[in-house]
Amino acid sequence: MRSSIGTRCSTRIDADGSGRTRGPLRSTPSVQIRCGLSTSKGSSKPVTGCHGLRSVATAGAKPVFRTLFRAVGLPEAIRSDNGAPFASTGIHGLSALNVWWMQLGIVHQRIPPSSPQENGTHERMHRDLKRETTRPASSSLRAQQRRFNAFRRRYNDERPHEGIADRTPSSLWTPSSRPYPEHITPPAYPARLEIRRVSSAGTFRLHSQQPFLSQVLRGEDIGLEEVGDGIWNIVYYSTLLGKIDERSLDITGTK
């Protein structure tokens, strides 16, 4: 069987707190990261990262992603659920982590709530991971990480996958051609957009008003474009965050 490999490099991620250690930590959330190129008959995505963390806070997750991006490059898109640290309940699901992804030119794809089937291949991998590494869990984070690492080796390099003609994911995968930039490039908006800087309180100026947008964008420049009678698009880098009505100041976020 031949598989045609596409040109889009995408990443699927998950953060799970169901693994329980038997020692003082009691809980071992982990971030699982798969990235690679899709094939027409299945998936060639290896598990490029699986790291035990003390919490699912951005402070712990971001260094994991930074290390991975430096090693294998940037994906075009990242698909995740709507939980922390990937998203929030704010406008457009903005979080400190996905704002950083936008700055890196990565499209964040959020699956609909309660729709794990939208991330089906990753969910199947996740079930295998939990079954093989957390039942029972290890007595320390270091010991748990060794089991995560062993699973990655088996999954990527040893175990044949039926969906890719019994080959291994690592045999089909190549890193992204987009290198990780050590410095963030500020957004460059088209001339038709009006530029506003988000205040330390998470607000921005619209005529004489200061509507609230998001705390995670404080100090960042956004673009405003009037697209209707008093209706403005709110843009951050290349992402449409939502629309605001200048009369009511209601902001409608996009999905």
The band of 228, judged by pLDDT with boundaries at 50, 70 and 90, is very high
Percent of the chain with pLDDT over 70: 79
The CA-based diameter of the chain, rounded to the nearest angstrom, is: 64
pLDDT tens digits, residue range 99-158? Answer: 999 999 999 988 877 666 666 677 788 888 889 988 888 888 899 999 989 999 999 999
Average pLDDT rounded to a whole number, residues 86-109: 94
Q: How far apart are CA 125 and CA 133, in angstroms?
A: 12
Q: What is the CATH number of domain 5-172?
A: 3.30.420.10
Instruction: For the chain, give every domain's residue range.
Output: 5-172, 194-253
Query: Regarding predicted confidence, which is higher, 202 or 23?
Result: 202
Q: 13: closest CA among 132, 91, 95, 103?
A: 95
Retrieve residue 118's tokens: 């939208």
pTM over cut 0.85: no
pLDDT tens digits, residue range 161-196? Answer: 888 888 998 888 888 899 999 999 999 999 999 999
